[in-house]
Every structure is written in structure tokens, then in C-alpha cells.
């Protein structure tokens, strides 16, 4: 007897954690009867090209976790609408970001890769959750404050309720874990709070999603002042060529106290040295640190070494991306397949949600 069925004596059928049955079914599909295959869900906005902050903060974990979890990864175009992008640019960005996700190593045969707007249940669930979310909770969101400052002429309601749609994205797939960078932690806290509220009001329905952080939860931008971000123009793009990257690195901040090549530097406070931490071998890092401290190695040479090491990662990604770009029908098929699987899972959740909140007929 399943755990859910066992609970039916104590709780009404309507209050059991039905999603565990779904998880068991997933495990059966995956050929394991020992342990339900837990779910992960994550998303990326199609606003400009992916950068190494996205790659290190999120995508590396997406690729790692797709082997262990039933994974749902979405290109969240509905979220991007909060910035009122040009329609054609948005359509292009959705494809480019999907290409970036796949070229980084997400395998569509393992993970469900889909475009958010292809699954209409996201907005339906977002409305249900909006009606459960106190205004005060959204008022506390620091990303809303940041974004409002960044686009003062377009402080729309979507920007304010953005974290509710994000919660819907996650709980629609009953996800247990969410691999994201540090900037999403507050949104995840709100998601957990919303899950607790929903479960309290309507009965145990969703698992509380936990954050999975990577080794690089907050990659700094080339300005060395704020996190790397598409909107701050301080990024190293994932598709950039080595020449393009070197051009940007030339102007990038280093140890602020090292004004001349003959000054001795402090690698620990140098933003460029922090990037070496992700792309450079330990032995070369030790060499660079010693050269910087003794002023034997100049910042330009240190940047050239970084550029070369970055290229070891970006080069193959760029090649895979070019190949995918040359086969648009293949990309369409991957996204159509992903949307179809995502819709099926989303509809299962919505049937339960509608029944629990009093919409339509009782399941």
C-alpha cells in the first residue's frame, strides 16, 4: 500500500500528499522501485544572451543534477514580459537561450526542457497562488526594488507579482529542489512560505522546495562592483569568442591598489583572480598568485591566461550552439516534446489544485 493510501484512514482522501504517488510512478518509469525519483525544477529568463554567471551559478548544476533527478528546465518567457521586450527580440532570445542550455550539456533525453508560455497552467496556478499571497510578502522582495529602479518608466504589476509566477513554475511540477544562484534565494523563501500556506489551507499538496546552490552562487561582474548580470552590461557572454572576451577583460577591474605593473598585487582582492578560481587549474593559480604578489606577472598577462582557460569551456559550447542553430527543426522538436511532457505533469497538478480550491468538479 502506498504511503498516501495508508494515510487515508487518518486524513481525508483530499488531504493526503498525492504528489508522492506521482513520484513513485516516476520512479517506476525510471526502472527503480526502491526510492521515488525526486524532482528538480529551474528556469532562466530569455533576456539577452547567457553569461558565465548563469553558467556557473545555475547551468553547471542543471547538467550535474539531471542524472539524479527528474528534471524540468524552463525558458521563462512570461517572466521576460515584465521588461516589455521587443516581440521579435523575445522570440529570438527564447531560441538562443534554449540553444545555450542545450549546448551547456542539458540533455533533452534526460531532462524536460520547455518554454514556459507553451504550458498555460503556469499562469493559471499563478493566479490561484496570487490570491494566497499577502501584499506585505511581495513588498519585501529586494529584486522588485532593484528592478523598479532599473526600469523606473515601467514599474508594472507583473514585476511586483513576478515571485508568485516563479512559485507557480516550481510547484506546478511538485519540485523538491531548485538549482539557482544566490540572487534567487529570497524568491525561494517566498515559494516555501506559499507552499506552507497552501498546504495549511487546502491540505498537504506540495513539497517544500529547497535551494541547491552551486560552487559559484554569486559571480561578480567585470566591474567588480555588482553581480554579473545581463542588465548591468558587466558580463562575459557564454557565446563570446576569445577575442571578444579579451576585449572586455582589458577594461575589467583588478586589484584596485595595483596601479602599475611594478606594484605588488594581492590576488585575494582581485576580481580577475576570482574568475581564475572557476576556470584555472590549482597549479596555474598558484603560479599566478605568486607572480602577482611579486609583481613578476602583469594584469594583462594574467587576463590573457584567464581568457585562454575560459575558451576551453566556451569554445566547445559555442561549437555545439552553432550546430544546434543550423538545425532549427531539431530545436523545435526538442521544445515541442518538452512542452508536451511538461503540460501533462502540469495538468495533473492543476486537476488536484482546482479540486482542492473549489474550482470545477471534485476529483
Which residues make up the interface to ligand TYM (CB under 6 A)? 41-45, 53-54, 57-58, 76, 79, 166, 169-170, 178, 180-181, 183-184, 216-219, 227-229
Q: How far is the CB of 281 from ligand TYM (least distance, A)?
A: 22
Residue of 230, 303, 314, 348 marked catalytic: 230
C-alpha cell at 160: 511586483
41 CB-near residues (< 8 Å, 6+ apart): 71, 72, 73, 74, 169, 170, 172, 173, 175, 178, 209
Task: Annotate 249-273 with DSSP letters as a single string.
Answer: HHTS---TT--STTSPP-GGG-HHH
C-alpha cell at 213: 546552490
Q: How far is the CB of 74 from ligand TYM (least distance, A)?
A: 7
b/e code 18-33 from CB counts within 10 Å (16+ = b): bbbebbbebbeeeeee
317 CB-near residues (< 8 Å, 6+ apart): 100, 103, 104, 238, 239
Nearer to ligand TYM, 166 or 254 (CB): 166
Nearer to ligand TYM, 68 or 146 (CB): 146
Nearer to ligand TYM, 7 or 49 (CB): 49
Q: How far is the CB of 232 from ligand TYM (least distance, A)?
A: 9
Q: Is 261 a catalytic residue?
A: no
For residues 295 and 262, the answer to whether their CB atoms sit within 8 Å is: yes
CA dist 64 and 67 (Å) reads 6
Q: How far is the CB of 170 from ligand TYM (least distance, A)?
A: 5
Q: How far is the CB of 279 from ligand TYM (least distance, A)?
A: 14
Residue of 147, 303, 314, 348 marked catalytic: 147
Q: Is 348 a catalytic residue?
A: no
Residue nearest to ligand TYM (CB): 57
304 CB-near residues (< 8 Å, 6+ apart): 246
Q: Tell me the β-bridge partners of 178.
A: 211
| Helix-strand-coil split of the chain, %, nearest 5 | 60, 5, 35
Q: How far is the CB of 8 from ligand TYM (least distance, A)?
A: 32
Residue of 8, 213, 227, 304 marked catalytic: 227
Residue 230 Cα distances to 51, 201, 311, 320, 329, angstroms: 8, 39, 20, 22, 28
Q: How far is the CB of 300 from ligand TYM (least distance, A)?
A: 24
Nearer to ligand TYM, 24 or 349 (CB): 349
Nearer to ligand TYM, 175 or 297 (CB): 175
- Collapse the DSSP code of 220 into the 3-class scheme (helix H, G, I; strand E, B; otherwise coil) and give the result: strand
DSSP character at residue 115? E
- Collapse the DSSP code of 292 into the 3-class scheme (helix H, G, I; strand E, B; otherwise coil) and give the result: helix
Q: Is 147 a catalytic residue?
A: yes
Measured N-to-C along each axis, helices 299-325 and 271-279 cross at an angle, to the nearest 10 degrees, of 50
Nearer to ligand TYM, 21 or 185 (CB): 185
Nearer to ligand TYM, 169 or 311 (CB): 169
Which of 258, 259, 260 minimizes the C-alpha distance to 268? 258
Active site residues: 147, 227, 230
Amino acid at each position: 500500500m502506498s504511503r498516501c493510501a495508508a494515510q487515508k484512514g487518518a486524513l481525508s482522501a483530499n488531504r493526503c500528499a498525492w504528489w508522492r504517488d506521482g513520484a513513485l510512478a516516476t520512479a517506476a518509469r525510471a526502472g527503480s522501485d526502491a526510492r521515488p525519483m525526486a524532482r528538480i525544477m529551474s528556469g532562466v529568463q530569455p533576456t539577452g544572451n547567457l553569461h558565465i554567471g548563469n553558467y556557473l551559478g545555475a547551468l553547471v548544476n542543471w547538467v550535474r543534477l539531471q542524472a539524479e533527478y527528474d528534471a524540468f528546465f524552463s525558458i521563462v518567457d512570461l517572466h521576460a514580459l515584465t521588461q516589455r521586450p521587443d516581440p521579435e527580440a523575445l522570440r529570438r532570445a527564447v531560441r538562443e537561450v534554449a540553444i545555450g542550455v542545450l549546448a551547456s550539456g542539458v540533455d533533452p533525453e534526460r531532462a524536460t526542457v520547455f518554454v514556459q508560455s507553451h504550458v498555460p497552467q503556469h499562469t493559471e496556478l499563478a493566479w490561484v497562488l496570487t490570491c494566497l499571497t499577502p501584499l506585505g510578502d511581495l513588498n519585501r522582495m529586494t529584486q522588485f526594488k532593484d528592478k523598479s529602479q532599473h526600469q523606473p518608466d515601467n514599474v508594472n504589476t507583473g514585476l511586483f507579482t513576478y515571485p508568485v509566477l516563479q512559485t507557480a513554475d516550481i510547484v506546478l511540477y511538485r519540485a523538491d529542489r531548485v538549482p539557482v544562484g544566490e540572487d534567487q534565494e529570497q524568491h525561494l523563501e517566498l515559494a516555501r512560505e506559499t507552499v506552507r500556506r497552501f498546504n495549511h489551507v487546502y491540505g498537504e499538496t506540495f513539497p517544500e522546495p529547497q535551494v541547491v546552490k552551486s560552487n559559484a552562487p554569486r559571480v561578480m561582474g567585470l566591474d567588480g562592483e555588482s553581480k554579473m548580470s545581463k542588465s548591468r552590461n558587466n558580463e562575459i557572454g557564454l557565446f563570446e569568442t576569445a577575442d571578444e572576451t579579451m576585449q572586455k577583460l582589458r577594461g575589467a577591474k583588478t586589484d584596485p591598489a595595483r596601479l602599475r605593473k611594478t606594484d605588488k598585487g594581492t590576488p585575494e582582492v582581485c576580481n580577475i583572480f576570482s574568475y581564475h578560481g572557476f576556470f584555472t587549474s590549482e597549479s596555474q593559480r598558484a603560479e599566478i598568485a605568486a607572480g602577482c604578489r611579486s609583481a613578476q606577472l602583469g594584469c594583462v598577462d594574467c587576463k590573457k591566461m584567464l581568457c585562454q582557460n575560459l575558451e576551453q569551456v566556451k569554445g566547445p559550447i559555442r561549437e555545439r550552439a552553432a550546430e544546434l542553430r543550423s538545425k532549427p527543426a531539431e530545436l523545435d522538436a526538442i521544445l515541442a516534446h518538452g512542452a508536451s511532457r511538461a503540460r501533462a505533469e502540469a495538468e495533473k497538478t492543476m486537476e488536484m489544485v482546482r479540486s482542492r480550491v473549489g474550482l470545477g468538479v471534485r476529483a
